[in-house]
Amino acid sequence: MQIDVLTLFPNMFEGVIGDSILKRAQEKKKVDINLYNLRDWTHDKRRTVDDKPYGGGPGMVIKPEPVFEACDDLCKKNTHVILLTPQGEKLDQKLATKLLKYRHLLFICGHYEGYDERIRTLAHREVSIGDYVLTCGELPAMVVIDSIVRLVPGVLGEEGSLDSESFNDDLLEYPQYTRPSVYRDMKVPEILVSGNHNKIEKWRKQQSLKRTKKRRSDLLKKYNKEGKRSE
């Protein structure tokens, strides 16, 4: 998978893509992540990427020319262009899984007051990470990229670990424990050290349902509506 990022602040990504899972994914050649500075497609001495909005108003707006020219150079026949914007489709696990099927993703990160509306015509999809506003599109891009790359086969190492994660089955993940079995008078549930894997799986499913009902009842309604509950 190839991931290209069009950004005004490529240095913001260094700590994220240069460490932990994303770093190992690149070392294993499971993903190729490239950062491109939008200012490289400007033609004036100041490398201007923004201008005042027509009709007046606060802030500055990203100009169409550098973005269009960058896409002309970076896009291939199979490129899926993603525009990061609060107005976009909200990221969830299902969307991350959908994006995994594309071999080439190009993320466009906005800044300032927003994009010239014509830039939207370049995007195959607009994505948001939540109902709030951030100072730039770089942070959402990092979140979306991480959510996708960790799903690439071979990146995490233990493929089974993906099956039990939160949201994969519209449920939150069950409680996890490790050694010591007792810490500050808090004990690991006996079922988990029983060795009975059938009972452990049943307990985990019950705990997932219980936790989802308490913390995210909206997910539980979706889970029940889709007929996944068999208890």
Yes or no: is domain 2-149 CATH 3.40.50.1950?
no
Give the type of residue at 22: L
Yes or no: is domain 164-225 CATH 3.40.30.10?
no
For the chain, the domains span 2-149, 164-225
Rounded Cα–Cα distance for residues 71 and 78 (Å) = 13
**pLDDT of the chain, 231 residues: tens digit per residue:** 999 999 999 999 999 999 999 999 999 999 999 999 999 999 999 999 999 999 998 899 999 999 999 999 999 999 999 999 999 999 999 999 999 999 999 999 988 778 999 999 999 999 999 999 898 999 999 999 999 999 999 999 765 455 555 555 789 999 999 999 999 999 999 999 999 999 999 999 999 999 999 999 988 887 887 766 544
Closest CA to 200 of 184, 83, 17, 208: 208
Q: Within 10 A of 176 (CB to CB), how many other CB atoms are there?
A: 8
> Does the predicted TM-score (pTM) go above 0.75?
yes
Beta strands in 100-227 (DSSP E): 104-108, 114-115, 125-128, 182-183, 186-187
